[in-house]
Amino acid sequence: MEPFTEDGFPREKCGKCGWVHYHNPRPTVSAIIAKSKKVLLCKRAAGPFAGKWDLPGGFLEEQELAEEGIKREMREELKIEIEIVRLAGIFGPTYYPFGGQDVYNTDIYYEVKIPDGEIKAVEGSDVVEVGWFEPNNLPDMAFSSNVAAIESWGKTSII
């Protein structure tokens, strides 16, 4: 792969076939879940930023709608079914160093409702612990886009 610049952005091109690797951001989906004026956060089990806190969510799969992805992620990480209230915002680019590469995400946030009852991390998932936090007193967060989404949500929340 040969590096080059196109339209002011770094690219890589195969010298044999001419295929171009565009370093596009990857889409993620996350849920803002609120109860008693606190938001649910998850402690990350793995890198990047293992041990820091994050809103529950993850990467979209190929050909998956964002609304389907957020529901799947909530089942995988928290074993809950959710009801989407509204799109809370789209933030990014978010730095996500992984596999020795510097990559970026575009993060889609939904405000969601959850069933009553206790929420726990699913053993073996990307989450090792869950906790409820006041939006103005967040723990050590993994991603600045989470903080921006929570701040924006706090100004417009309908829950």
Residues noted as catalytic: 129
Name the residue with tokens 């050590």: 140
- Rounded Cα–Cα distance for residues 145 and 107 (Å): 7
Helix (H) or strand (E) segment spanning residue 42 = strand 38-44
DSSP secondary structure string, 65-94? -HHHHHHHHHHHHH----EEEEEEEEEEEE
